[in-house]
Amino acid sequence: MGRYFGTDGVRGRVGDPPMTVNFTLRLASSAARVLAPDGGTVLIGKDTRVSGYMFESALEAGFTAAGVNVLLAGPLPTPGVAYLCRRLNADFGIVISASHNPYEDNGIKFFDRHGDKLSEDEEAAIEALLEQPPVTRPSEELGLARRLDNAGTDYQFFCVSTVPPEADFSGFKVVVDCSHGAAYKVAPRVMAELGVDVIPIGCSPNGRNINRDCGSTHPNLLQSTVKGVGADVGIALDGDGDRVVMVDAGGDLVDGDQLIHILAVAAHESDALRGPVVGTVMSNLGLERSLKERGIDFRRAAVGDRNVLAMLKECGGHIGGETSGHVIDLARTTTGDGLVVALQVLAVMEASGRSLAELAGRMPRFPQTLINVRTATVFDESSADIGRAVRAVEKRLLDRGRIVLRPSGTEPVVRVMVEGEDADEVAAAAAEIAAAVRSAFGGD
């Protein structure tokens, strides 16, 4: 990661560096010089945070001053911006969003003309120019800005087009939780267009309620609503619509690992799966073992959708993602798309005649315990005490489980994850390693 760019663009607390208007203006000017040095077009979308207005204005000013034309899409899911970059032949795209974070945060994500994340070299080149004052070209060279009236409709048509034409969703009753975020209009409309009996929740954004007690990070409301209205399935998106988790008719959560399993197995059974399936070091061991039992190659990338995407391209795969619900299907999109993934799962349900619970139940889940240890000093995994604790647990688990020990990339936290066949053994092992981390590096 660079000085400002993290695992997914620039992100932080609104009003604190770097999420200030002044920084955003300089960021736009720097990006213009790197991504469109001779002029061009940038597409800008956003989620529903109240701070999106000021960052949108700052970006518009910076780009037009640098001679770049601006297309303003308004509230639009992140994958919608990636799609429209390709469709509209924009030179690059920007999403103003902090994804699943609370409204007090915001961020700026970039896509290239193909709807892919920027390379690390491109991010480094933008960062190298940030200390320079913003560029203002002569009046005859300034960029123009205009709002797109049909951005949401165009993305809606795309989502519908990813569903097999023979699929009939008219028998489904679905609750859709849009997290008061960017998909609050398009997701219910897509479902209605496909004949779904749709019940929308989390679709009343006020600028300050995005992700609050709803959406993919807080699915309790969705779980109770699905059971209360007798729905077949529930769909929970996050604030910018690139993640999804689902809920079966009994109110049980179906996470990203299970969604990956459903899509991969269905593709394999129809001879449409190409290359390995890619998860992360945090993906449940049940996903790996179940796929391998079916003859499907499974590989693990480092945490982060950027790493999953890079491995998919490297090994020629097209399905992968994270437990959190950031699922990628390169056969249909260039980035994680919560709505498109949910539609593909509904298509599998319809074609197979199986409920979501039946499909999810085909993947056994190994008990996992995750402990976040907040450290007082910088984590160093070469610590002898931690090494002894890890080796002791490995000796007990043998091949019946695994350990993941990694520092967070965004906060002074070490994530201790232990997974195995026995829940009590796993919990005790995670506590043992977490205690060693606390002893070596302080914290709680």
Active site residues: 99
CA dist., res. 374 & res. 432, Å (int): 15
The amino acid present at 187, given as its one-letter code, is: A
Query: Which amino acid appears at position 45 of this protein?
Result: G
Sheet with 327-329, edge to edge strand ranges: 298-301, 277-280, 319-321, 327-329
Q: Would you say 18 and 105 are in contact if contact means Cβ atoms under 8 Å apart?
A: no
Q: Residue 308: in which H helix or E strand, if any?
A: helix 305-315
Q: Which two tokens stand for residue 35?
A: 């991504």
Spatial separation of the C-alpha atoms in residues 336 and 391, rounded to whole Å = 36
Instruction: State which amino acid sits at residue 157.
Output: F
Distance CA 71, CA 386 (A): 52
Residue with tokens 């002893």: 439
Is residue 126 within 8 Å of residue 26, measured between CB atoms? Answer: no
Enumerate helices (H) and strands (E) in the chain, giving the number of each.
14, 18
- Cβ atoms of 39 and 91 within 8 Å: the answer is no
